[in-house]
Each structure stands twice: as structure tokens, then as C-alpha cells.
Structure 1
């Protein structure tokens, strides 16, 4: 993966020292960071983060594009998915942290797919509506930018970190399984318990870094856990399949992460300043009890019917979440209860009854499933995704609060994008092949402090200055917009739609030549450019910032973007053909 470019302007004050320390850490594995990046807010000056900002005119040109060779694909296909006018905001990350509620620990803008949450299945995504004008149901999402004119204290961040126990957070595999055949239930339960023990052991190791951040140690813990989880999850899948069940690949659930979300709870809460515009834009999410991990072993003759009902339950929740977005502003205070939650409960009751009846024809009928029918909005505190045996003093991360959807440390009014440009581009040395449907991809790294900067990418610039990218927030000339340019990997391994670290199935082309690594094929390379009209005085005073994980403390180098391809095969074929013919299409 690409590292920071040599031409990027570097921070020279305290954040720079941490960034340089992270680079040394990545190279030697011998350095521990005890202060989180992007601070400098310990004085009484509201502009104490100015060392995070740079005039774009002082950043030397550093974007190099290889010239096209004889076999190049030089076309471009653009998609208009809007600027999140529906206000689909969420702290989920369905790509990097599937199945983990509030997994991002910060709020994302979503465009495209209207139903997506951390728990959405591929079928749910395919059945969703979209904000894209050409019917593209793909999901594109990135952290929001906020304007906050108040002082942020770096000392508060240090104090919160000093009291924080890092935790290993993993997707709950049992909640994502299809119906488990009776003959496999005991083995699967034993393997799921072993996954919990592995996670608990990793958490026990993390006690060694309480109150500090050690990226090399974090990577070692997560890499080791990933290897063991991959083997265990593969065994779960094969056990279910061998017993006659239907269990698609679970590779998306392998990867875990180190979480510092307890820092959120230990930092001062926001005042949730009123904002009528943000209040009109905000959308909650539906939360329903998990069903899959509450079922007994399913008799062979009931497997198909139970799986259909489980799929129906997933789709019902996705449809309800989409309805929350599309019905924004409708009805009175009881609208959600009467028009969304009430009908959802009735549908879930019917599906749960079908499951109980199907199992009861061949085995004892499961009791108590009806208690899982009622759903709520996401206004209750979330539960940490750790096994009960894991040692923890962490406090549950709250859902985004107030009209500005704030988490502690991520405060201020959300800046709505002025423009979002989604482009699929070609390859300078070869034709492209269509992306597979449901391909997951991400670019950048949300945690360069706690994981190291190897996957982080400079993304910040201003309109009219796209020949340069910075890892600092830009200060733009009058009349120029703040921009974030997110380039996704343009090469695919030809087989997988995801991988156990969400990165290895795709790759960036060579920076100098544009060629894909050996064994990879060029695919339409996604670029998303997000532009903002941010008042220049706000830029000059250092008062806009990225939502981030708490240990990043608004680090501009933690910018990232995620994508799930839900284009139809026909549309993706049309995208590839346009690019290969050197045309500009939409």
C-alpha cells in the first residue's frame, strides 16, 4: 500500500513529532506513543490547532500521473449520487467493521445505498433504494467534517487516554450465521466459544498498554488474532456446510481492531448546541434483537424455510432503515412508532412464528422467539462488542447525540458537502475488467496513530490545486473550495470480494508506471472528490476538522473512504466498456 508522498508538506510541531514517531515505529517496532496525534489544543486560544493547517499555496505539487501507454484505458464514467441531502449519517462502518454497532466511533456521510448499516447483507443492499441518479445501489461513505469554534483541550485528550484500557473488538460471528443444522450445532457452539476465548486472551494482552498507544504492539496482537480467527471461522463454515447447511464465506468477519472508545466516555460531553438544519437532516437507525444466535440446531428439512425467514428478518430491518431516511419530516411525533416500528414488529412476529413452526415440525419448538420481535431506535447506549469473559472497565460508547449527532470529542455542526464527484477511471497501461458485484474496498486509514501510517494517504487540497495533496487541513484562497480526494485501489485479485483484513483482495497500481501487481487485474479505479464551502475565516482560525477515532483527535492524516459495489452486472459492464473505449460517460 502507498505511503505518504515525499512532496507532501509535513507538520513541524507536536503533531509532526508524533507522525514522525509513528513512521519510526512502523520501521522499527520499538516506539510507544503516549500522546495522541492532532492535539495542540491545551491553551486558551481557539486557534490552537493551527499547526494542523497549511496554506495550499505552500504545498509543492506532488501528484504524479503516469502517461498512458498503447494499451491504456483512458475513459471516465461519472455517477451523481448527490451530497447526502437525505441526511443518512451513521457511526457504523459496514466495510471495515461489519456487524459492529457504532464501529466507526465517529459519524459518516453516506450517499448511494439507502438501507446500509453494519448488519446489512448483500441481498439487503441489492433490494435497497439509492440516491444515485443512474440506479447505482453502491454505498459510498466517509467521515463528516465539522465546524467547531470552541476550544478543544489537548490536555483533556491526554487525561482520557491515561485512564483508558484499550480493547480488542471483533465482529460477533454467531449473530451472522445462517441456520445451523442440528448435527453441527454442538461443534459450532464449541468453535464460537473458542473465538470468544481468543478475543478474551487478546484483551488480556492489551492490559499491558493501558493508558498509552503502542502501534507495533497493537499490530502484533491483531495480526496474531486474525490468523487464529481465520482458521476457526473457516472451520465453522465448513462444519455447517458438511452437515448440509448453506453457509457463505465469512471472511469479512475475521478482522478485529483495537478500540479506544472508552476515551469518548472519559472526555467532557458536548453541549449539543442547537442547529435546526442539522436536526432536520439527522436520521436515527433501527435496532432489533439478534435472532440467529438464539436458535437451536435446525432439522435438515427445516433449513431452507428457516433461512428464508432469517433473510426476511434482515430485509425487514433494512427496509425500515431506508424508510427512516426517505420519510424524514413526515407525520407527527408518533409517526415513526405508527408507520415504521409498529409494522416492523408485526412483520418480525410473523417471520419468527414461521421459524418456530418450521423447527417444531421436526423437533421441539423453540420458545421465547416472540420476545425478539420489538425493535427500537438507536437512542439507548450501545453494548461493547466484547465477550463477557473479557476483562474490561470500558464504558459503553453512546450513540450520536443531539441535533448535531455528536460523540464526545467529535463536536460541532456538520458541514454538508457542496459537491461530491464520483468517478470510475481507467488504467494507464491496460484495459479494465468489471468489478465483481459486492466488492468491498477502502482507502486511507482511520487509525494511523494506533495502527501505524503504512495505509494512510494524503487527501486534502483546494479546488484549482489538484496537482498537490496534503496530509494537513488546507487553507484555500478566496473563491476556492476545501476538497478531499479519495483514490481507491484500482487492481483486483480476480477472485475475492473481501479479505480477512479488508485490503489484500485489492491493491494500488504502481505509482510510477500504473501497472497492477503480479496476479492482479485492473478494474475501474474509483475516485471520490468531496468539496466544501467553508468560510475562509474558519479555515484561517483552524476551526474545521474531521470526525475521528478518539486516539486520532481529528488527525487530518486519518482521512479515509469506504465503498461497496452494488452496481448491477450490466451497469458495471457498461462502465468498463466506456473506460476501455476512452469515452466520458455518465
Structure 2
């Protein structure tokens, strides 16, 4: 279906078309269950246990989903995740309330009812185009259990500097000086477009932060469930529309109004200002937000030919925020240290950098476009990566390749982590980045001209 290049304010109320980035339908919500009345004795108030709501994973039990049903299925899988998160927050907020059956009657029971209705909608959506799946009813009920001994809960009230049972651990970090070189140079053909176009947009000095995602969850507050840094467009949130984005000012010195945003990196040894807020500590993302020392945004060419202009309002997500459980199919994380970037790039580990070196997160976005759509139901199908030789697949056109480089001065490992969804262990492989092209047509033409002519412009 052709995407409307001029989606208006109706996007505010649009249903959430959820990508695999947010799919799952299961999950573990750990909260500070200091507990409901029946679970704590007055004689031992200090032994209160962290409790978790654990729900069966629905996505992994589904058959192949017909293309016609994918958007509706993904939307309902995201709803299952939100229902579990909401139940976890209620568990934390009602601690000390009710009698012996309070948790079952007020939290787990209603959660099971909501999940059953949502799972039924998934089955019906699939059944319209294929055989309706059976045996999913048993996935509705969730359980309450104890968190692993010695861990802290992921919900509100946890102390600063603790990532709790979500990680990361010391095993998630590696001394970059001990990693064998793994970076290979890209080969270019005679017709390569070798220029570059840079937008200088600052480092989010204004502190524009929220846990929204206007691409994946338009019209939904806290649709990301983790906090984003923003540069470029000065007002991007769940209410954003093409019209509002194009009317906003920008932090970019060349007038680029595009929205560039990514999950924040945190110093987990310190308490952050959002320790009890949604998107922050209440959802397992704890610590002080680290501001990058530099953010470099560059558009590059194709190693095999010329590039064409991106359409205005093109939306691209690179990486997978749930790659820890989804697998590496859509993962696109790159971690390194200054002085090592052309030698070592890590994907599922955080780097331990030597003295004088800083942590680097880098992103290279999809640079093949289908020539028609500015978005797609899964937020991926309208764009793609070139093949190993740098060629776009048939029907796709090479567009300027957006690359971003974020440099940080971090605390000693393992005291930093990227924001993410609960259950993803704050693993380095879940790193991702989001982009909405709001360049004027004139500025985009200038970028394409610089790139195709081999010049470097800003």
C-alpha cells in the first residue's frame, strides 16, 4: 500500500502499526513488590521480596502470519506488552493493599482477561487469510514469582545504580584492546558516489527527552517504554505530524528539520531524575542520562553508483530494540572506542576503552528505498540494506546513506547501559536509531549534488 507522503493530523489518532521492533506478546515485568498485605509479616519487614509478573510469549507460538494480517497481529502483540507493563505498574502502586486474594483478583485475573481478548483478535486476524491457530488460549494467564536472589526489581523505587535483574553484567563488557580486528574496508566501483553531506545538529544540549516513538506508536504517550535523545527538529513527540514537524525550528545549523533520535545511554552508578517515571526507572531504565560529547550526522553515497533524493517525511528505523530475544535478523548495533573504530566494531558487547579513549556508538541506516513509500506497516519493508557488493535489490533505489556517530565519556564498566525494553537485559545488541527526513526539497537536492559530485559539504 502506498504511503501518503502528506499524512496529516489524523496520525495523532492512528492505531499503532507495530514493527518487529516491539513485537513479543510475552515479557517479564519485575517490580518492587514490597508486597500486598498477605505476603509480608510485621515481624520481618526487611525480607520483602521482589516479585515478577511473567507471561507466556505469544509471538513464538504463532504460525506463519499472512501478509494481510501482519499489521493487525503486530499491533496486538504490542498491546500484550503494554498490558503486562501496566499490570506490573499496578502491582507496584498497590503494595500493602488488599487481602490474601488481592493480586489474583485485582491484577492477574483482569490481566488474563485482557490478554485472552487480545489473543483472540490475533487468531481472528490470521483466520481471515489462513487457518485460524489453535491452542493459544493457554497463553493468556500470567504468573507471579520471585525475582532471582540478590537482584533488584525493575519497577519504581529501586535504588540508583542498579540495573536489577535486567542487566547488564560484567560479562556484557569486553576489553577492546583484546578483540581481534574485524573491520573490512568497503570496495568502490568506478561509478561510486564518493561525496558526503553533514548536518551539524548539536548533542541535545537542550535536553529534549521523552519515551515516545512517533514512527512506531503515533498518538501513544510512552509508546517506546524507554527514553530517547533528540537532535534536529525541536519538538518531536507522540503528537507529531508531518505538518508539525515541518513547522518546527531545528538545532541543525544548515536548517535541516529532520528528527534524529536514539535511546539514551545512562550512568547506572548514579540516580537519574526520572528514577520513578515511565520510560525511566519505573520500567527498568535507571541511572543518570549521559549526554554525548559529540554527535556526527553524515549522509554518504553508494559504492556502486549515484544516489537519488530521499522523499520528504521518509521514516527509517535501524536496529532492533528487542534483538536480545528476537535474534539478530534486524540487529544493527555497533560499539567501539575512539582510536579503534577502523579496527574493531562490537555488536553484542559494550567496549571497555583504554585510558584516554571514549565509547563510540555508530549507526549506518538502510540506504535502498522502494521508490514509492515513506513508511510501511512493519516500518522496514520500504527500505533495505544493499547487498555485500553495495547494490540495491531490484525495484529499490540508492538514496543517501545516513550514518551517525555518538561519542561518550562513560563511567567504568559495568556502570553504563543503553535504555531498552524490560526483558532485553540492556544488552548492547538492542541498540537502535530512528530518523524522519524533514529536510526541505532544496536542502535534499543540495545533499544529493554534493554526494554525487564527490564533494564534502555541510
TM-score interval for Structure 1 and Structure 2 normalised by the shorter chain? 0.5 to 0.7
- Consecutive unaligned residues of structure 1, counting only runs of 5 or more, are 1-24, 151-272, 280-396
Is residue 278 of structure 2 the alignment partner of residue 399 of structure 1?
Answer: yes
Q: How does 1:279-428 map to 2 (within 5 A)?
A: 399-400=278-279, 406-428=281-303
1:514 equivalent in alignment to 2:390 = yes
1:258-298 deviation line (CA, Å, top 9, x unaligned): xxxxxxxxxxxxxxx476xx99xxxxxxxxxxxxxxxxxxx
Partner of 1:559: 431
Equivalent pair of 1:41/1:49 in contact (CA under 8 Å): no
Alignment RMSD (CA, Å): 2.9
Q: Is residue 2:418 matched to residue 1:546?
A: yes
Q: Deviations over 1:145-173 (max 9, x none)?
A: 111127xxxxxxxxxxxxxxxxxxxxxxx
CA contact (8 A) 1:88 1:109 kept: yes
Q: Larger RCO: Structure 1 or Structure 2 (Cα < 8 Å, ≥ 6 residues apart)? A: 1
SS at 2:214 equivalent? coil
Measure the CA separation in 1 of the matches of 2:292 and 2:168.
Answer: 25
Q: Considering fraction of residues, name the structure with more helix.
A: 1
Asked if 1 retains the 8 angstrom alpha-carbon contact of 2:314 and 2:374, the reply is yes
Quick check: 1:460 aligned with 2:335?
A: yes
Counterpart CA distance in 1 for 2:427 and 2:148 is 11
Alpha-carbon distance in structure 2 between the residues aligned to 1:415 and 1:41: 30
**Unmatched 5+ stretches in structure 2:** 1-59, 65-138, 153-160
Q: Show CA shifts across 1:214-237 (max 9, x none).
A: xxxxxxxxxxxxxxxxxxxxxxxx
Q: 2:196 aligns with which of 76, 80, 83?
A: 76
Aligned positions of 1:401-550 closer than 5 A: 406-467=281-342, 468-470=344-346, 471-510=348-387, 512-535=388-411, 538-539=412-413, 542-550=414-422
SS of the equivalent of 1:407 reads: helix
- Given the two structures, how large is their TM-score scaled by the length of structure 1? 0.49
Residues 509 and 515 in structure 1, CA contact (< 8 A), matched pair in contact too? yes
Q: Take 1:489 and 1:453, find their aligned partners in 2: how far apart are those partners?
A: 16
CA distances 1:423-460 after superposition (whole Å, capped 9, x unpaired) = 00010001000100000001100012443331012311
Partner of 1:290: none
In the alignment, which of 216, 219, 244 is matched to residue 124 of structure 1? 244
Q: Which has the higher strand share?
A: 2
> Hey, what's the Cα distance between the residues in 2 that align with 1:475 and 1:42?
25
- 1:48 and 1:574, CA in 2 relative to 1: closer, same or farther beyond 3 A? closer
Structure 1 residue runs of 4+, over 6 Å off?
43-48
Distance in 1, Cα, partners of 2:193 & 2:149:
47
**2-structure distance, mates of 1:83, 1:420:** 6
The corresponding residue for 2:215 is 95
Match for residue 31 of structure 2? none
Once the two structures are TM-superposed, the CA of residue 409 in structure 1 deviates from its matched residue by 1.2
User: In the TM superposition, what is the alpha-carbon distance from 1:556 to its structure 2 partner?
Assistant: 1.0
Correspondence for 2:443: 571
Q: Give the 3 Å change call, closer, same or farther, for CA 77–455 of structure 1 in structure 2.
A: same
Deviations 1:365-385 (A, max 9, x none): xxxxxxxxxxxxxxxxxxxxx
Return the offset for 1:65: 3.5
Answer yes or no: is the 8 Å Cα contact 1:443–1:489 preserved in 2: yes
Distance of 2:340 and 2:202 partners within structure 1: 23
Q: What's the CA shift for 1:42?
A: 4.5
Measured in 2, the distance between the counterparts of 1:274 and 1:444 equals: 26
- 2:215–2:315 Cα contact (<8 Å) kept: yes
Q: SS at the partner of 2:363?
A: strand
| In 1: Cα distance, 2:365 partner to 2:374 partner | 14
Cα deviations across residues 496-546 of structure 1 (Å, max 9, x unaligned)?
A: 100110001111011x211111111110000011110114xx22xx01001
Distance 1:408 1:488 in 2: 28
Q: Distance in 1 between matches of 2:230 and 2:149?
A: 30
